Chain A
Amino acid sequence: MQNRARSAVGFPPHPLDGLQFSRLQQAVQGLNHEQLAWASGYLAGLGALEPTSARAANESPAMTILYATQGGNARSVAEALADSATARGYAPRLIAADQYRPRDLAKERLLVAVISTQGEGEPPESAHELFKFLKSRKTPRLDGLHYAVFGLGDSSYEFFNRAAKELDALLQATGAEALLARIDADVDFQPLSAQWQTQLLREVEKVQPEQSRVIPLQPAPSASRNDRNHPYQAELLERRRITTADAVAEVHHLALEIDAEAIRYRPGDALGLFFRNDPTLVEEILSLTGLAGETPVSRGETPLSLEQALSERLELTQLHPSVAKAWAGVAGDAKLSALSEDAGRLRRFAGERQFIDLLQAYPAQVDADRLVALLHSQQPRLYSIASSQAAYEDEIHLTVSTLRYQAHARDHLGGASGFLTRRIAEGDKLGVYVAENPGFRLPQTNDTPIIMVGAGTGVAPYRAFLQEREAAGASGANWLVFGNRHFHRDFLYQSDWLNYRKQGLLNRISLAFSRDEGDRTYVQARLYEEGAELYRWLQEGAHLYVCGGIAMERAVRQSLQGIAQAQGGLDEEAADEYIESLREQGRYQRDVY
């Protein structure tokens, strides 16, 4: 991390990560000499109140806000809380789960955890250690610890907020006392998070009356932060399709222009972005509901027209179960209502529909306000960043596959991917923010070998990895394992890989093109074939990365299991432990979607 802090902004090594650092920079921007002097004193004061685990371990913070995130949502909630807590004079310690030493739990008095759920009901990678610690026998009793859990999830997944629930239960089991009930936030978590903050801080007042107060601080000017709540307006520099016309998958390469001062990202990070819905889709919804586009409605603070709301603010293409359920109420359709009582069926039902399908199948009278209230606000989408700032200081590259499918007698187009690959034009702007992904990072040391496994667009982050390693003159060996349909049609970034190979940067390329040969070969199969080599690399300390669809990730883990058994002569259990230990050492990192 320090390497990067240096390479990012010609500063001596420091413990802040990219975002923290630029936030600090922004916060002190324009301060004169005197102000700076005061600020430094103030910060020193804060520091005194906030012992890091390194120093003054016996002294402990008033409040530790711990977050475990994949896409940055949990982080944004935690940061918002930290800001208002600080504003009220608390000295919260804001820390990412993977930075946190579980053993410090014993010293905590007040722990606030903000955690999302990933995979199939799993905690984010960064919380892995924490969970392991809490589940292990060596967990201490934590009587006297007050805690609160804010969960971020999506009820369209089977295991809604399971990570938060689990964490809650685990803390409970240690004897710790919940300060207030866990929140299981759904996709629309923003409003909940606001309420929860005030509620929580009120409760905190109660348990920690005489509080070591410091001079109130204005929360850092929000506008200066680029996160989900404050997206940066990036310009589309270039877009080109990189699969051939006869390819099934329509994959595009996008280059966005950013201000290198304002936006720092690291290989492995994803980009969160907002989009405008398909105008024709909006049109259809208007005509099906018979509502006028200019009807004024309110969503959030600013009043706007129904059409605006539909195209810019509301989620139309990802039908959420709760929306389907709400619509059942509006439509008063018996079958639909019955269906929405069964969570599982409802989820599947919603999973293969867009709101428009609902409108068509279950037409109903609805007025503009009701419609707007009933729909969720648009969820930003995440895309792995396919470039490194070491190579492209002021650009962000994305690799976007257009989501298209036929269902319910109409063509469906993904909201974001459709926007990115079909609707915006070069020169247009879109709101983006960096979704840090601490769980998917190049090795600290440049001479460590890496194995990069990706299928389809899952290869995107590896382009960033190699650009970074090239710029750093990293000596570690690099092995790319890529899978897709056809060699001639879908070999994403082939010429880049071949150039890197010619340069000697990319030492090994293994490929699985499932539709070329008769028998369909996928990456996991190829991996298994080359198991001996893979195991050798791992024995030599290689880091293994897996990026792509959830199913692929599972399959890869499977063959990894097999390889550990076949090559390492381990039994099943030992093989699991082996993989487990790789994970703990951060040598088996995954980025799945």
Chain B
Amino acid sequence: MDTPINPNELIKANSRYLRGTLKQSVADAATGALSADDAQISKFHGFYEQDDRDQRVERQSQFLEPYYSFMLRARLPGGVCTPKQWLAIDAVGRELGNGTIRLTTRQTFQYHGILKRNLKPLIQRINQAMIDSIGGCGDVNRNVLCNSNPEHSALHAEVYQWAQRISEHLLPKTRAYHEIWLDGEPVAGGESEPLYGETYLPRKFKTAVAVPPHNDVDVYTNDLGFVAIADGEKLLGFNVLVGGGMGATHDDATTFPRLADELGFIPPEQTLAVAAAVVSVQRDHGDRVSRRHARLKYTIERMGLDAFVAEVEQRAGLRFAPSRHVQFTSQGDRYGWVEDGEGRWHLTLFIENGRVADLPGASLMSGLREIAEIHQGDFRITANQNLIVAGVPAEQKAAVTELARHHGLLPDTQSPTRLASIACVALPTCPQAMAEAERYFPELLEKIEALAMRHGIVRQAIVMRMTGCPNGCARPYVAEVGLIGKGPGRYNLQLGGDGTGLRLNRLYRRNLNEKELLETLDSLFSLYVANRLSNERFGDFVIRREMVKPVINPAEDYHETA
């Protein structure tokens, strides 16, 4: 091949199974950063180098390097952790991070603002709590999502175990992590990565497990998806999905969000074999020249679905049965208390944009800590950046409710749209951000709520998602209203999601500032109110009225505008 392979591939190949020169980089006291190569390798260990973009310019004039710090993302399959673990997570966040915890759209948590010298202590502390960050980021399988709907706890328990097993099965085997951070014995050599090989995957890889009718994990946006087929509380198997993904680049038609294709149905025991097979096909056929086109979705577009399926069946040594019929009815969380089959109760709390912090008026961090101190069940982080207090005995409901209310964790005062919406992190930590998201979305929502109020639709949920760039970390392309950062204070407006994560939206207006955005929504809302069918969702309305054309095949038609 005459086209040069991507530099990242060399970095991986030379890293001696992800060791690189991380030890030296961390020991170098003259800079808060890592060497450029180590900054790539570090991702496989679960952390990213970042710098406070608010301070960049000023520090440059002060002869100071950027204010470097690190973001660490834990591996937490299905987002489940115990109260004891939460107390550790909380303490570490206060002592070694920037004092906040960030629940993510992939059901785990992140610390921001970790100073280099605190990396090792922090990683050791979370590992003492039996939580690691291996493959939290990097070109490997990421945190495995699992439906967190608590109503069917028996089924959930079984499905959740599969999520855990997939996560373990697809974990890198290198000892680098233990060696560097946990003072594990250096490996004598002869190390290998049976599944990944020494260059790992061409790109990140994401897996989710869904339990219909809830699509809270947006299973179709993952590289690999498992849709649980159950008979009541009994798991029969999974419909397997491949080739979903959100990330795109503004105005680059060769990149696009894509919903996963169905491969077919498998019994539970074939789950790991299929997962490994899909990963290995992507390993061998994925694009190692252009990272922009390296995700599985592009591999499948290139190979063609049939060839891909054949390859997977051959490697997994099985044949897919026809997919079973399923129906999804929602992609948001189900808030408040619900009781499961065994008489235990579950409370879904509202954590706006997943940011757990103590702020004037909302002491979320203290609140969750106090709940964790009395709670005996477990916690579940949802793919909508919320937290479920799961498995509460009836007699403790009151106490938990009281704490939650006192610390502003209850959803009841929020509008349905706010409860259905999410935003990514963006500024100041995200190096990719072109516009604000987490820091700005709440105040924008207030203005949108005011609009909805005037149009009399404030009691109705519209799934709105904002990201600071087109990478799509809040999965905005499956929202009824997607706001994609384009530049400071400017967003692309996307319309047409179906509220269940089964339909991509489409670009409706480019580069709007707040005023233009609100005016546009204002007129859309009045049209909607005037012409909607009875309980027709906003996303469905704009499609029916052909305000935006539905996306049939994103590879061809995604970049056509309305």
B62 touches A498 (CB 8 A): no
* Nearest chain A CB to B58 CB, angstrom units: 8
Q: Which stretch of A173-181, A237-245, A467-475 is in the interface?
A: A237-245
B29–A242 CB distance below 8 A: no
- The distance from the CB of B311 to the nearest CB of chain A, in whole angstroms, is 46
Q: Is the pair B61, A494 in contact by a Cβ cutoff of 8 Å?
A: no
What 1/0 flags go to B59-91 for Cβ under 8 Å of A? 111111101000000000000000000000000
Contacts of A494 in B (CB 8 A): 30, 63-65
Is A580 interfacial (CB 8 A cutoff)? no
Selecting from A13-21, A304-312, A484-492, the interface stretch reads A484-492
Q: Which residues of A contact B59 (CB under 8 A)?
A: 244
Which residues of A are found within 8 Å of B31, using beta-carbon distances?
498
Q: B32 within 8 Å of A by Cβ?
A: yes
Q: Mark B110-121, 1 if CB is under 8 A from A, else 0.
A: 000000010000
Q: In the complex, what residue of chain B is closest to A517 when comparing beta carbons?
A: B117
Cα A405 to Cα B62 in complex, Å, equals 24
Interface: A253 (CB within 8 A): yes
Residues of B within 8 A of A185 (CB): none
Chain A residues numbered 452-501 whose CB sits less than 8 Å from any CB in chain B: 487-488, 491-498, 501
Tell me the A41-96 residues at the B interface (CB within 8 Å).
none
- A501 & B30 in contact (Cβ 8 Å cutoff): yes
Bound together, the chains give a CA A309 to CA B29 distance in angstroms of 50
Chain A residue, CB-CB nearest to B28: A509
Q: How far is the CA of A496 from the CA of B32 in the complex (A)?
A: 15
Cβ–Cβ < 8 Å partners of A495 in chain B? 60, 63-65
Q: Are A242 and B64 touching (Cβ within 8 A)? A: yes
CA–CA, A2 and B63, complex, Å: 33
User: In the bound complex, how far is the Cα of B59 from the Cα of A117, in angstroms?
Assistant: 40
We find that the number of chain B residues with CB closer than 8 angstroms to chain A is 13
Flag whether A511 is at the interface (Cβ < 8 A).
yes
Name the residue of chain B whose CB is nearest to the CB of A489.
B64
With a cutoff of 8 Å between Cβ atoms, the chain B residues found around residue A488 in the complex are: 32, 64, 67
Q: Say yes or no: A509 contacts B30, CB within 8 Å.
A: yes
User: Which A residues, 496 to 513, have Cβ-Cβ distances below 8 Å to chain B?
Assistant: 496-498, 501, 509, 511
Name the residue among B31, B60, B61, B117 with the largest chain A CB count within 10 angstroms. Answer: B31
Give the residues in chain B near A511, CB-CB below 8 Å.
29-30
Cβ distance A530 to chain B, nearest Cβ, rounded Å: 12
B64: A residues at CB distance < 8 A: 242, 244, 488, 491, 494-495
Is the beta-carbon distance between A240 and B61 smaller than 8 angstroms?
Answer: yes
* A residues in contact with B30, CB < 8 Å: 494, 497-498, 501, 509, 511
Interface size class of A (residues with CB under 8 A): 20 to 34
Whether the Cβ atoms of B61 and A498 lie closer than 8 Å is no
Contact of B62 among A244, A487, A501 (CB under 8 A): A244
Task: Report Cα–Cα, A242/B61, bound state, in Å.
Answer: 8
B370–chain A nearest beta-carbon distance, Å: 29
Given A487-B32, A498-B31, A501-B30: A492 in contact with B67 (beta carbons within 8 A): no
- Is the Cβ of A493 less than 8 Å from the Cβ of B63? yes
Of A241, A243, A488, A498, which is in contact with the most chain B CB atoms at under 10 Å from its CB? A488
Complex CA distance for A495 and B32, rounded to whole angstroms: 12
For the complex formed, measure the closest distance between the CB of B255 and the CB atoms of chain A, giving whole angstroms: 34
| Smallest Cβ-Cβ distance to B29: which chain A residue | A511
Complex Cα gap A495–B31 (Å): 9
Counting chain A CB atoms within 10 Å of each CB, which of B31, B60, B62, B67 scores highest? B62
Task: List residues of chain A with CB within 8 A of the CB of B62.
Answer: 240-244
Nearest Cβ in chain B — how far from A451, in angstroms?
16
| Residues on the B chain within 8 Å of A244, using CB | 59, 62, 64
A501 to B35, CA, bound (A): 13
Chain A CB within 10 Å, residue with most, of B29, B59, B61, B64: B64
Within 8 A of B (CB), among A236-260: 240-244, 253
CB distance B65 to A498 under 8 Å? yes
Within 8 Å CB of A243, what residues of B? 62
Query: How close is B24's CB to chain A, nearest CB, in angstroms?
Result: 14
Docked Cα-Cα span, A492 to B59, in Å, equals: 11
B49 CB to closest chain A CB (Å) equals 15
Give the CA-CA distance A501 to B61 in the complex, in Å.
19
- Expressed in whole angstroms, the Cα–Cα distance for A496 and B63 within the complex equals 7
Q: Which residues of B contact A498 (CB under 8 A)?
A: 30-31, 65
CA distance A150 to B167 in the complex (A): 84
Closest to B69 in A: A488
Rounded to whole angstroms, the CA-CA distance of A273 and B67 in the bound complex is 35
- Chain A residues contacting B60 (CB-CB under 8 Å) are 495
- Closest B residue to A513 by CB, please name it: B29
B contact residues around A493 at 8 Å (CB): 63
Q: Across the interface, name the chain A residue whose C-beta is closest to B59.
A: A244
Q: Mark B17-33, 1 if CB is under 8 A from A, else 0.
A: 00000000000011110
Please give the distance in Å from A3's CB to the nearest CB on chain B.
28
A237 to B8, CA, bound (A): 45
Complex: A290 Cα to B64 Cα, angstroms: 48
Q: How would residues 31 to 49 of chain B score, 1 for a CB under 8 Å from any chain A CB and 0 otherwise?
A: 1100000000000000000
Q: Is the CB of A253 within 8 A of B63?
A: yes
Report Cα–Cα, A367/B31, bound state, in Å.
Answer: 59
A496 cross-chain contacts in B, Cβ below 8 A: 63
CA distance A501 to B64 in the complex (A): 15
Q: Which A residues are in CB contact (< 8 Å) with B63? A: 242, 253, 492-496
Closest A residue to B55 using CB positions: A244
In angstroms, how far is the closest chain A Cβ from the Cβ of B153? Answer: 46
Whole-angstrom distance between the alpha carbons of A547 and B67 in the complex? Answer: 28
Nearest B residue (CB) for A247: B62
A501 vs B59: C-alpha distance when bound (angstroms): 19
| Further pairs besides A242-B62, A498-B65, A501-B30: 9, Cβ < 8 Å | A242-B64, A244-B59, A253-B63, A488-B64, A492-B63, A494-B30, A494-B63, A495-B63, A496-B63
Of the A-B pairs whose beta carbons lie under 8 Å apart in the complex, a sample of 21, sorted by A's number, is A240-B61, A240-B62, A241-B62, A242-B63, A244-B59, A244-B64, A487-B29, A487-B32, A488-B32, A488-B64, A488-B67, A494-B63, A495-B60, A496-B63, A497-B30, A498-B30, A498-B31, A498-B65, A509-B29, A509-B30, A511-B29
